[in-house]
Structure 1
Amino acid sequence: MDRSILHVDLNNFYASVECLYRPELRGRPVAVGGDIEQRHGIILAKNYLAKKFDIKTGEAIWQAKQKCPNLVVLPPDFKLYLRFSQLARNIYLDYTDQVEPFGIDECWLDVTGSGIYGTGEQIAEKIRQRIKSEMGVTVSIGVSFNKIYAKLGSDYKKPDAITVITKDNFKDIVWPLPASDLLYVGRATARKLHNYGVNTIGGLAATDPKYLRQWLGKWGDMLWAFANGLDNAPVAQYDNLAIIKSIGNSTTTPRDLETDEDVKMVFYVLAESVAARMREQGFKGQVVCISIRDTELYSFTRQVKIDHPTCLASEITNTAMQLFKNNYEWYRPIRSIGISVTDFSHGDESIQLDMFCDQGRRAEQETLERTVDWLRRRFGHFCVQRAVVLQDQALTGFNPKGDHTIHPVSYF
C-alpha cells in the first residue's frame, strides 16, 4: 500500500502570530526582525503584504526599510511562537502519532494508518480547517507518497492551500520545478547543477547518476533518488525525541570585542546559558568548542577535550578562554562569538577521576550553580550575576526590567 504523507507548513508563522495578537497591524506590511541597536538587524519573517515589496528573509532591516518605508518591524517573541507551534502539533497528534517536526513551523505526518479519519487529502483538509478556526492562522499542506514530495506540495501553493502529489501526477507537478526547490539542494549545489545544464527537478531526474556522483559525490545518488520519487525515509514517532549531541549558544555582540577581558565577559554569559541547559538535561560534557568571527567576517572554530566531564560554567569559560588565547592574535576586533559543549555523559554516570582533582570543591561549585539556577527561575534571570559580567553591562546584556523582587547581587 502506498504511504500517505503530509507536510504541514504554518504560513508566515512569526508574522501571522504577531498580526493575530495585534489586530491594528492587519492590512499593513509586517516583519519580525532582530534588534538593530544590538546588531541583530535582519528580517526573520514577513507577511504577504511585505513580500509584495520583495522583502526577503535574512536581509538587513535597513535594506527592507528602503524597499518599504512603512514596514512595521516587530521584535521576536519566541515563547509565544513555541506555544502556537505546540498547539498545532497537538492538533496533528489527534490523527497520528507519527509527527516529525522540521523546524518550529513545519511537520511531517504519516497518516497511512489513519483511515478512520479519511484519506490523506481529507485529513489534510480537516487539519487546515482546524488550524484556521482554532488558532486563527493558516497552513499549506502537501499530500504525497513520500516526505520529499509532500514538502514540495506544501511549498507549491500558499497560503491556506492543499496540494496532492501522486505517482500519477508527480511528473507534471514536480519535474518542471527549479532544481533549487528540491529539499537539500542549496544555492551552491543548484549553481553547480546549473553549470552542467541541469536546471529543473525533471532534468535532475533524467541525469545519469554516475555523472551526478562525479559532480556531487554521494549526494548525487541521493538527489537523483529524491527527484525520481524514491524517498523511503520514515516519519519519526513524535515521542522519539532526537538525541541531543551538543548544547551551545552564540551571539553577535552589541559592540566589537577588542580585548581578552571583553571576550571573557561574553564567554561567561554564553557559558552560563549552556551550563544551565546541560544541568536541566542531566548532562555533563567533556568537549568544549568555540566559534569566532571577526569584523571582516573571517571565522574559525576550535575544540578541546578536557580531563573530566563538567556542567560548570566556570570550567567551560576557562577552557574556552584558553582555546581562544591559543588560537587568536587580535588581528582584528571580533563581531560574534559562540560556545558549545558535546561528548555528553549523564550526571549520575560514574566517571574516572584524576587523583589530583579536588572533587569536593567541584561538588560545592556545582551545588552553587544549581542554586543560582533555582534563584533565577524563582526571581528572574538577573537577580544573581557574576561580578565579571557587571563590568560592561551593555556588552553582557545585564538589564533587570523589574522581573524580580530582590536587588541583583553578584558572585564569583
Structure 2
Amino acid sequence: MVKDELNVDVPWEGRAIGLLDLDAFFASVEQLDHPEWRGKPVIVGGDADRRGVVSTASYEARTFGVHSAMPAAQAARLCPDAIWTHGHFDRYREVSNEVMNIILDETPLVEQVSIDEAFFDVTPGRYSRESPVSICRRIQGRVSELGVSCSIGLGVCKSVAKVASEAQKPRGLTVVLPGSEAAFLAPLPVRAMSGIGPATEARLARMGIRTLGALAASSDDMLLSELGTMGPELRARAAGTERAAVGERANPDEAKSVSNERTFASDLTDEQAIRSALDATCAMVARRLRRKGLAGSCVTVRLKKDACTSRTAQARLDEPADDEALISPIAQRLLGQLWHQGMPVRLIGVGVSDFSAPRPTQLGLFDDPEELRRRETMRSLHKTTDALKERFGDEAIAFGRDLRLRASTTNTQPQHKEDA
C-alpha cells in the first residue's frame, strides 16, 4: 500500500532508501536570486535563434508545455513571454552543496547522482532509530528554508525511491511502505522507470510488455534472449527487488570525468574553424581540471553532425595532464578519426578521465629541457589567466579561439551531469 500522507511515527521494517530530487532546480535558484521573477515563467537555456536547448523550465513555464531538452526555438514559440537566462552554474553548485550537507546531517550514506539528485539510506537502526518518514520531512523542511524545494521518494530500494520521487512533484513526499512496492509499480508504464528509453520501450512493446507489472512477471530467460544481461536487471527493478547499496558519503568533487561540449548556432564545415573550436573546448576542460586539482590520462572527443548522429574517439596521454598544451594535440589527432572534409559539425565535446595515475613528480632522464621550459611557461600563463577569470569573470581575458567559439555557440547552460 502506498500512502502520500503518513504519520511521521509510522513503523518501518527493513531498508529505507530515499531519493531527493530538487524541483526545477536551475529555474528555482534563478527565482530565488531574482525575487521579481517569482511566479513568472523562467527558462534556463541557450538562445532560441542559435540552436539552444532548454536546460530547465520553471513550473510556470511548464504549464505552456516547455520542458528540459526541448529546442529553445520551440520553447520560445510555446511561451513567448518567458524570462530567459543562460544560467549561473557556479551558483547552482553552491546551493546543491548546501542541500547535500543537509542530507549528510542525517546519514553518511549519501550518493549524489547529479547536481540536483541524491540517494540516501535512512534504514532504522543504522544511524538513527527515528522513522524514515520523519527524517524525510525534516530534510524537506530544511531544503525549503534555503529558498528552493525538493520532492522525495522513499522505499525499500533505489528503483522504488526513484519512481516515487516523480509521483508528486513539486514538493512531494511519496512513501512506498515495505511490502507494497509491487502494487505501487505494477500499473505504471515501463517508461516510468529510469533506464528505459524510447528504444527499449519499443522493444518491450513488441514483446507485449507495456507496464512494470508485466515486466516484473516476465521470465528472465526471455528477457535475456531479447535484451541481453540488461533484461533480468530491468525485471528485478520493475518488481522492486533490486538491492543496490547507496554509496557512502559520495563526494561530488571526486569526478570520474571532467568534460565540456558546445553546440553551434550554425554547422561548422571549415577545418580551421573546427580545429579552433576544439582547442577552445580543450582549454575549458583544462581550466576545470585545474580548478578541481585533477589531472587525467584519457582524452575523449565527441562530434555530432546532426541531432541524432554522434561519433566518439578516445586516446591515452603519456602522463596525467591538466594543461590544454598537452590535451589539445591528442584531441586534434582524434579529430582526424572522426571528421572528414565537408562533414558538418553541430557539436564538439571533449572529456578527460582516468585520474587514478599519479602525477609525475620528477623529470625524466631524457626529457628535453627546452620543451620542459616551454611547458612550464605555458602552464604559468594558463594559471594566470585562470586567476584573472576567477576574479573578474570569464569575459575578463580571452584568446582568439575563445572569442570565435563564444560567437558561434548557442549559450545553452551545460549541466555537467557527466561529472559523477
Does the 8 A contact of 2:259 with 2:349 survive in 1? yes
Does the 8 A contact of 2:297 with 2:352 survive in 1? yes
Alpha-carbon deviations, 1:319-368, whole Å to 9, x = none? Answer: 322332455322233222122234442223679x594x525523541353
What CA distance in whole angstroms lies between the structure 1 residues aligned with 2:405 and 2:114? 35
Does the 8 A contact of 1:264 with 1:317 survive in 2? no
Tell me the residue number matched to 1:23: 35
**Residue type at the aligned position of 1:376:** D
Tell me the residue number matched to 2:216: 205
Alignment length (residue pairs): 393
RMSD after superposition:
2.8
1:278 aligns with 2:289: yes
The one of 344, 358, 376 aligned to 2:368 = 358
Change in Cα spacing, 1:281 to 1:354, as seen in structure 2 (3 Å) is farther
**Residue type at the aligned position of 1:346:** P
Change in Cα spacing, 1:4 to 1:349, as seen in structure 2 (3 Å) is farther
What CA distance in whole angstroms lies between the structure 1 residues aligned with 2:188 and 2:307? 37
**Residue type at the aligned position of 2:181:** F
Tell me the residue number matched to 1:180: 191
Which secondary structure does the structure 1 equivalent of 2:276 belong to?
helix
The one of 101, 106, 125 aligned to 1:90 = 101
The one of 152, 165, 170 aligned to 1:154 = 165
What CA distance in whole angstroms lies between the structure 2 residues aligned with 1:285 and 1:136? 37
Change in Cα spacing, 1:259 to 1:286, as seen in structure 2 (3 Å) is same
What CA distance in whole angstroms lies between the structure 2 residues aligned with 1:22 and 1:284? 37
1:377 aligns with 2:368: no
Does the 8 A contact of 1:156 with 1:163 survive in 2? yes
The one of 407, 410, 414 aligned to 1:394 = 407
Does the 8 A contact of 1:265 with 1:396 survive in 2? no
Change in Cα spacing, 1:219 to 1:27, as seen in structure 2 (3 Å) is same
1:286 CA drift (Å) = 4.2
What CA distance in whole angstroms lies between the structure 1 residues aligned with 2:406 and 2:115? 32
What CA distance in whole angstroms lies between the structure 1 residues aligned with 2:17 and 2:158? 6
1:197 CA drift (Å) = 1.1
1:98 CA drift (Å) = 0.9
Tell me the residue number matched to 1:225: 236
TM-score, normalised to structure 1's length? 0.85
Alpha-carbon deviations, 1:74-116, whole Å to 9, x = none? Answer: 3212122111111111211111111111211111111124664
Does the 8 A contact of 1:14 with 1:32 survive in 2? yes
What CA distance in whole angstroms lies between the structure 2 residues aligned with 1:198 and 1:66? 36
What CA distance in whole angstroms lies between the structure 2 residues aligned with 1:310 and 1:79? 24
Alpha-carbon deviations, 1:228-249, whole Å to 9, x = none? Answer: 2222111111255686443332
Tell me the residue number matched to 1:300: 311
Tell me the residue number matched to 1:407: none
Tell me the residue number matched to 2:9: none
What CA distance in whole angstroms lies between the structure 2 residues aligned with 1:303 and 1:174? 40
Tell me the residue number matched to 2:113: 102
Change in Cα spacing, 1:263 to 1:222, as seen in structure 2 (3 Å) is same
Alpha-carbon deviations, 1:111-167, whole Å to 9, x = none? Answer: 1246646201111111122222x1122221111111111111111112212111123
Which secondary structure does the structure 2 equivalent of 1:3 belong to?
coil
What CA distance in whole angstroms lies between the structure 2 residues aligned with 1:149 and 1:337? 36
Tell me the residue number matched to 1:5: 17
Q: Which has the higher contact order (CA 8 A, sep 6+)?
A: 2
Change in Cα spacing, 1:116 to 1:296, as seen in structure 2 (3 Å) is closer
Tell me the residue number matched to 2:279: 268
Amino-acid identity (%): 31
The one of 234, 250, 255 aligned to 2:245 = 234
Does the 8 A contact of 2:299 with 2:351 survive in 1? yes
1:122 aligns with 2:134: yes
**Residue type at the aligned position of 2:386:** R
What CA distance in whole angstroms lies between the structure 2 residues aligned with 1:390 and 1:296? 25
What CA distance in whole angstroms lies between the structure 2 residues aligned with 1:61 and 1:296? 14
1:131 aligns with 2:143: yes
Which secondary structure does the structure 1 equivalent of 2:18 belong to?
strand
TM-score, normalised to structure 2's length? 0.84
1:219 CA drift (Å) = 0.5
Change in Cα spacing, 1:124 to 1:283, as seen in structure 2 (3 Å) is closer
Does the 8 A contact of 2:18 with 2:120 survive in 1? yes
What CA distance in whole angstroms lies between the structure 1 residues aligned with 2:106 and 2:288? 32
What CA distance in whole angstroms lies between the structure 2 residues aligned with 1:262 and 1:214? 47
1:386 CA drift (Å) = 4.3
Does the 8 A contact of 1:287 with 1:305 survive in 2? yes
1:22 CA drift (Å) = 2.4
Does the 8 A contact of 1:13 with 1:45 survive in 2? yes
Which consecutive residues of structure 1, in runs of 5 or more, have no partner in the other structure?
A: 398-412
1:56 CA drift (Å) = 2.2
Tell me the residue number matched to 1:400: none
What CA distance in whole angstroms lies between the structure 1 residues aligned with 2:138 and 2:337? 58
Which consecutive residues of structure 2, in runs of 5 or more, have no partner in the other structure?
A: 1-12, 411-420
